[in-house]
A and B are shown apart, each in its own frame.
Chain A
Amino acid sequence: GEDVEQSLFLSVREGDSSVINCTYTDSSSTYLYWYKQEPGAGLQLLTYIFSNMDMKQDQRLTVLLNKKDKHLSLRIADTQTGDSAIYFCAERPAGNKLTFGGGTRVLVKP
């Protein structure tokens, strides 16, 4: 079945790096995505990675994919207070829907 899991909470100091982890179960997923959600708002697509890639870097964001372990991570370099939000990973198994994790709340402390 489909199940995406994330840790609930991450606290980080401003300027440090944040690493948010995610595990998924559907090995047929072709793309994996990271979204950001601020309070009361919709989801903002941050980045994605294709399943045949190990790593993708996009400015302050680095996505690492370990397909063997079905483990995905998002690293945010030089974390800022504006990065405080809930981060969701999502997989896209066969079909067109996304299956989301429960979200990781990131709190950036000054």
Chain B
Amino acid sequence: DTGVSQDPRHKITKRGQNVTFRCDPISEHNRLYWYRQTLGQGPEFLTYFQNEAQLEKSRLLSDRFSAERPKGSFSTLEIQRTEQGDSAMYLCASSSTGLPYEQYFGPGTRLTVT
């Protein structure tokens, strides 16, 4: 297994458009996380799944954001009606349920909203 992968790596979109990102976790990991990182800041937690169940959502995840993990494998993060403030790096991570719960990150999707 080559690690967590994300697609696309870069996305430029116009304000008001919808975008969708995909994350493929490490195959044996049943937990999947989404974080957002803005320039000069550390990543901020958005949401997490255990298998297909979305178990926690941050208040950062407004109604315009939706995440799914339909079969407990890959996940998608959709942003509707994008705003310039959505411009950020969107990071996906995965982990097993065992100690020490290390989260392994993908390369991220950089979103630019013009």
Contacts and interface: CB of A to CB of B under 8 A. Distances in A.
B33 to A, nearest CB: 7
B107 interface: yes
Contact of B56 (A42, A92, A97, A99): A97
Contacts of B102: 33, 45, 48
Contacts of A102: 40-42
Interface in B16-74: 31, 33, 35, 40-45, 48, 50, 55-56, 58
Interface residues of A, number: 24
Given A45-B105, A88-B43, A98-B103, 17 more contacts: A4-B42, A31-B100, A40-B110, A41-B108, A42-B91, A43-B43, A43-B91, A45-B102, A48-B102, A96-B48, A96-B50, A96-B95, A97-B48, A100-B43, A101-B42, A102-B41, A102-B42
Contacts of B48: 96-97
Interface of A: 4, 31, 33, 35, 40-45, 48, 50, 88, 90, 92, 95-103
Nearest to B102: A45
Instruction: Give the size category of B's interface with A.
Output: 20 to 34
Contacts of A92: 101
A25 to B, nearest CB: 15
Interface string B76-107: 00000000000000010101000011111111
A33 B105 CA distance: 13
Contacts of B40: 102-103
B108 A31 contact: no
